[in-house]
Amino acid sequence: MELIDKCDGLLFTGGQDVSPKLYDEEPLDCVECCVERDKMETIVLKRAIETDKPLLGICRGIQFINAALGGTLYQDLPLQHPSLTEHHQKPPYEIPVHRAELIENTPLRKCLGRDKISVNSYHHQAVKEVAPELKPMALSEDGITEAVYRPGNTFLWAVQWHPEFSYTTDENSAEIFKAFVEAAAGSQ
């Protein structure tokens, strides 16, 4: 806890699949989890919420936050939610491959000042049912939740796409990081 408390903000990155055990499902054969990471991030998430520590989730980050707070995931989008929308692009990863509609009266729409943006996409899992504590901020063309926030926190946002690949060329990605850094600076 002491290490978490020393941080101004927390970033949950992409990586291994989130364990379906978090939302009471048996894993499909294609799921590769890191149980230790799930346990560690569960502790960090709980502390971040308790202390109102700014937190940004990216890719696995949105999936983990959603599952840890009581939501569910598509374990494998191509199998469980077939679509023509590209969710697992090939390099270069900074190139947008689909659009996301930003939901009215959400922090992300207010931050970006737009109703639609183009995003990159590199994942095979995604939010299925949004956790009760979270609210959606963006949806893809095929109905996948692309961004969420937790209304009770100053800054607890998560996005399905990868702004870390495009923040130098995409102003929307840069604005998301700017909002996170400002929230973290304000938490000192």
Write out the DSSP string of 65-121: HHHHTT--EES-HHHHS--SS-SBPPSPTTS--EEEEEPTTSHHHHHHT-SEEEE--
Output the domain CATH number for residue 96. 3.40.50.880
Helix H or strand E encompassing 127? strand 126-127
Residue 38 has pLDDT above 90, yes or no: yes
Tell me the average pLDDT of the chain.
96
| Residue 2, pLDDT score | 83
The predicted-structure confidence for 102-142, as pLDDT tens digits, reads as follows: 999 999 999 999 999 999 999 999 999 999 999 999 999 99
pLDDT band at 1 (very low <50, low <70, confident <90, very high): confident
Question: If you search the block for the tokens 């870390």, which residue do you land on?
Answer: 164
pLDDT band at 188 (very low <50, low <70, confident <90, very high): low
The residue-averaged pLDDT of 27-39 equals 93
Number of domains comprising the chain: 1
Mind telling me the catalytic residues? Answer: 59, 162, 164
pLDDT band at 180 (very low <50, low <70, confident <90, very high): very high
The range of the structural domain enclosing residue 101 comes to 2-186
Residue 169 has pLDDT above 80, yes or no: yes
